[in-house]
Structure 1
Amino acid sequence: MSESPTPYRVLARKYRPQTFDQLIGQDAMVQTLENAIKRGRIAHAFLMTGVRGVGKTSTARLIAKSLNCVGPDGQGGPTISACGICDPCQAIAEGRHIDVIEMDAASHTGVDDMRNIIEAARLAAFSARFKIYIIDEVHMLSKNAFNALLKTLEEPPEHVKFLLATTEVNKVPITVLSRCQRFDLRRIPAELLAKHFQHVVDEEQISAEPEALALIARAAEGSARDGLSILDQAIAHAGTDAGGVTAVQVREMLGLSDRGAVRRLFALLLSGDAPAVLAALAEQHALGVEPAALFRGLLEAVHGVTRAKAGGAPDPAQSVEERAALEEWAGKLGHATLHRLWQLLLKGLSEVETTAMPMEAAEMALLRVVHAGTLPDPGELLRKLQSGEPMPALDAAAPVAGGGAPVMAAPVMPAVRLPADFPALIEGVASRHAHLAQQLHDYASLVRYAPPELAIHPKRPIDGNIAKALGEVFSIEWKVALADQPGEPTLREQELAAKAAAEQEILDSPVVAAIRTAFPGAELIEDERSIA
């Protein structure tokens, strides 16, 4: 077998931007750099931050080329449009320029590494206009290393520039941030990624369906490098297939559900057809679709319907059929219904991702969505409870929206259980608001207790909104009044009084009285040790 004359380079390396024109999705940063270079206002230190794969290290290399480019004739100065022909441009692009030093802070975290940089920074550049240090993942440096770098970073020699890159800017000391010109690189929009991937497959002379590239762009989550890695995998997955990269292959590779299948499942949920919902879920599972991926698809559908209802711009990656379906549902479903659907599906996704039985959790979560349409509306239920009207039957037929889709209602309890007395109320509050419960126990003198009404006299100021906390805990609106005159002793006062009475009863007993007579000065103490 004959070897290839040149080794294969992955797409993420082969299509790394070599000019600022090729850097996608960062127009604001490029404009700022261009203006700074044109006016000669070049900072001595730059910090690039953003999620993985948006171009932080590539930007640092492009800045290094722009500052050191001498043009094809060797007479040029700093420019945003590096020629890519001169020796400095080519050496920097190939990573072999002696005056452009790249280091990974993850493997050079110590103060000695920084001292080496500081010592070397004093020496003039060997052949370039500027000596440039590119420090990747700078947040990994130790505290001492940062401290050693501070003075040089603030007042470096005229011939030195520092280009720092990090994915976790919150871990970089504020003293370092204040000495750098900061650029926040944005996530690249999916439509720009899809357009970029189309350019890549055209250059590679590989056919790819637009929907397949749109799926890869979504999966990349704003990262060009991640997207190119997925595209590389998709091309390998397609092999020598004459159809090239197809949406079906990409879904199979990524474990994604067919968007048409998601829409069909969404329609079944709205119709309340439980057997059909379970059958559709089983069908997708048999095709290799993970339950979590299916729930994410359903959440995307709810989000798409809500955006369509709110008049938001459609996703350019959506097909015509998908847009039509979303607009149709937007005309039938109300905002409250969509928000409840979102919450139910979001809770289902959380359960599916954290349980040891994802398929069973998915079935239970989807059935909860189906049967939520037969439950009474929580606002109407509370109104009837307060007014004393008859409660609706829980198995009553669900109200129907236009087109036959049941109006979803969040599952609620058929009745609200209120605490029997004030101590029970405090015990309930302690489950979610421990500090407030302690204050009510120690400082609240009970004046009146008639749930959901409460009147107390605070013997000391009580922090927090009592009515809001009670509403959160007991799922009903409370009326809380602060009285001027005290009522009953606080629970703490009652406990102390009971303890004092118990101690006095012991002291008054004949045995203890005899002991105290025989041993003057003897005291009664409480033994807090547990007895096995």
Structure 2
Amino acid sequence: MENFVVSARKYRPQNFKSVVGQEHITTTLKNAIKNNHLAQSFLFCGPRGVGKTTCARILAKTINCSNRTDDFEACGTCDSCKAFGNNASFNIYELDAASNNSVDDIRNLVDQVRYAPQQGSYKVYIIDEVHMLSAAAFNAFLKTLEEPPSYAIFILATTEKHKILPTILSRCQIFDFNRIQIRDISKHLAYIAEQEKVEFEDEALRLIATKADGALRDALSIFDLIVTYSAGNRVTYAETIENLHILDYDYYFKVVDAFLAEDASQVMLIFDEILKKGFDAHNFLVGLASHLRDLLVVKDPATVELLEVSEDAQSKYLEQSKNATVSFLLSALNIINQADVNYRMSKNQRLHVELALMKVSKLQRAFKLTALAAAEAKKKA
């Protein structure tokens, strides 16, 4: 039986064009290679799981490739590329600063820099989680980073740029990696599912992408988990929300329908059912606020594209938004947001949420009474 390889490793990008959601980074790096404008020290910053170390490895592989393609990608077939693929390249040195953060570790690295590469053009030093280096280690690294040999390139990667000394920052060309967009993650998950012959529902992949919070590696880990859970090579929305313990958005549609019908009793019963299923009341508040925001977004055709849901879900939002006025949605959002802000300070948190829900349930009546009062005042005037 073959050993299972997690998707994050199996489908790790091997060239710039396969990197997801970081086109501003990959385009700049390819142009630097094309025009021979490579800096000698790079700093890759950004949240976890967005491709910092991956791009560092691809850059190291590409600049040492002896037969680059016309679009300045590594060929994957030359001796250097094969050595890189087999983790046997002597031109690439990786250091994990989380566990090798002392002065001695940096001195060992500096000693290695003295030796030119035996084959290939560059020796590349990738230092991951560089913010974990001690102050003394940073100082020992300064001179080498400022004036390295012509064949040495340093690529520093960090999730916490603010912890790096300004003297280090000033010596590096800085690249800021973005959180990956939900649609890009969903598209990549669909590609992997097709490669693995896994059936999927678009809404399930979108939910995984949302849960990953911009980190592709997290999305791939969740995807593997759901595929294993289903045990039938199928990723469905129902199994995804069950495994991740996420509240089905149908509950939010039901709650808003009850709001619009001014049925406070129904709202309370739905909220009770949600609590009995083990969901947190605060998470429900946050989800309800997001749902109201999405309803507000689809009120204007110019902002519909901001709604990152499947086509089926989008039609549901459009249908419900027709029954809700902008005034209602804004007032409801304000009430729910205030409840969210004050939730932690409440002694009786269930009652705190229920009061907010009852207030929203009575908004329609409040609007009618306000309109009547204004009409009466106008008549008297």
- Whether TM-score is above 0.5 comes out as yes
Q: CA deviation at 1:326?
A: 4.2
Shift of 1:322: 3.9
Which residue number in structure 2 is paired with residue 233 of structure 1? 225
Which of residues 330, 342, 353 in structure 1 aligns to 2:333? Answer: 342
Aligned equivalent of 1:35, options 31, 36, 41: 31
Change (3 A) 1:256 1:350: farther
Paired letter, 1:49? C
- 1:96-115 pair list within 5 angstroms: 96-115=88-107
1:249 counterpart = 2:217: no
Partner of 1:285: 275
Alignment partner, residue 368 of structure 1:
356
* Residue among 176, 191, 196 paired with 2:168: 176
1:398 matched to 2:372? The reply is no
AA aligned to 1:332 is A
Name stretches of at least 5 consecutive residues in structure 2 with no aligned partner.
372-381
Counterpart residue number, 1:135: 127
More helix by share: 2
Within a 5 Å distance, the mapping from 1:190-339 to structure 2 comes to 190-240=182-232, 244-310=234-300, 311-314=302-305, 315-326=307-318, 328-329=320-321, 332-335=324-327, 337-339=328-330
**8 Å Cα contact 2:267-2:357 kept in structure 1:** no
RCO higher in structure (CA 8 A, sep ≥6): 2
Work out the CA distance in 2 between the residues paired with 1:361 and 1:94. Answer: 56
Q: Once the 2 structures are TM-superposed, how far is the Cα of residue 270 of structure 1 from its aligned partner?
A: 4.1
1:375-414 CA-to-partner distances (Å, cap 9, x unmatched) read 8xxxxxxxxxxxxxxxxxxxx952249xxxx99xxxxxxx
For residues 362-386 of structure 1, what are the alpha-carbon distances to aligned partners after superposition, in whole Å with 9 as ceiling and x for unaligned? 45314224226658xxxxxxxxxxx
Taking the aligned partners of 1:246 and 1:82, their CA distance within structure 2 comes to 37
Deviation at 1:130, TM superposition (A): 0.8
Greater Cα radius of gyration, structure 1 or 2: 1
Tell whether the 8 Å contact from 2:125 to 2:154 is kept in structure 1 after alignment. Answer: yes
Q: CA deviation at 1:316?
A: 4.5
Q: Deviations over 1:21-41 (max 9, x none)?
A: 110101111111111111111
Contact 2:339 2:353 in 1 (8 A): yes
Alpha-carbon distance in 1 for matches of 2:87, 2:70: 19
Q: CA deviation at 1:89?
A: 1.6
| Contact 1:308/1:327 (8 A) holds in 2 | no
**Equivalent residue for 1:84?**
76
TM-score by length of 2: 0.89
User: In 1, Cα distance between the equivalents of 2:43 and 2:368?
Assistant: 56
Does the C-alpha gap of structure 1 residues 189 and 289 become closer, same or farther in structure 2, counting only changes over 3 Å? same
Judged with a 3 Å threshold, the aligned counterparts in structure 2 of structure 1 residues 362 and 69 are, in CA distance, closer, same or farther, namely farther
User: Matched residues, percent identical?
Assistant: 35
- Which amino acid in structure 2 is aligned with residue 370 of structure 1? M
Q: Are 1:93 and 2:85 counterparts?
A: yes
Q: Is the 8 A contact 2:335 2:360 kept in 1?
A: no
Aligned residue number for residue 515 of structure 1: none
Aligned partner letter, 2:150: E
Q: 1:44 aligns with which of 21, 29, 40?
A: 40
Structural RMSD (CA) = 2.7
1:7 pairs, out of 3, 11, 30, with 3
Query: C-alpha distance in 1, partners of 2:323/2:191?
Result: 38
**1:172–1:339: structure 2 CA closer, same or farther, 3 Å change rule?**
farther
**Amino acid aligned to 1:44:** Q
Structure 1 residues 94 and 334: alpha-carbon distance in aligned structure 2, compared to 1, 3 A threshold? same
Farther off after superposition, 43-52 or 93-102:
93-102
Report how many residues are paired: 369
Deviation at 1:79, TM superposition (A): 7.3
- Whole-angstrom distance in 1 between the partners of 2:170 and 2:18: 30
Give the TM-score, by structure 1 length.
Answer: 0.64
1:388 counterpart residue number: none
Q: Give SS of 2:193's match.
A: helix
Supply the distance in 1 between the matched residues of 2:164 and 2:143 (Cα, whole angstroms).
16
Q: Which residue of 2 aligns with 1:465?
A: none
Quote the Cα distance in structure 2 between the aligned partners of 1:122 and 1:78.
33
Following the alignment from structure 1 to structure 2, what is the Cα–Cα distance between the partners of residues 145 and 66?
29
Q: Deviations over 1:319-377 (max 9, x none)?
A: 43544434653673235x4344334323434555x4798xx6245314224226658xx
Which residue in 2 is equivalent to 1:66? 62
**Over residues 235-267 of structure 1, what are the superposed CA-to-partner deviations in whole Å (9 max), with x where a residue is unaligned?**
0110137xx111000001111111122111122
Structure 1 116/139 Cα, relative in aligned 2: closer, same or farther at 3 Å?
same
**Matched position secondary structure for 1:161:** strand
Using the TM superposition, give the Cα deviation of residue 99 of structure 1 relative to its aligned residue in structure 2, in angstroms.
2.0
Work out whether 1:188 is the aligned partner of 2:180. yes
Letter in 1 for 2:332: L
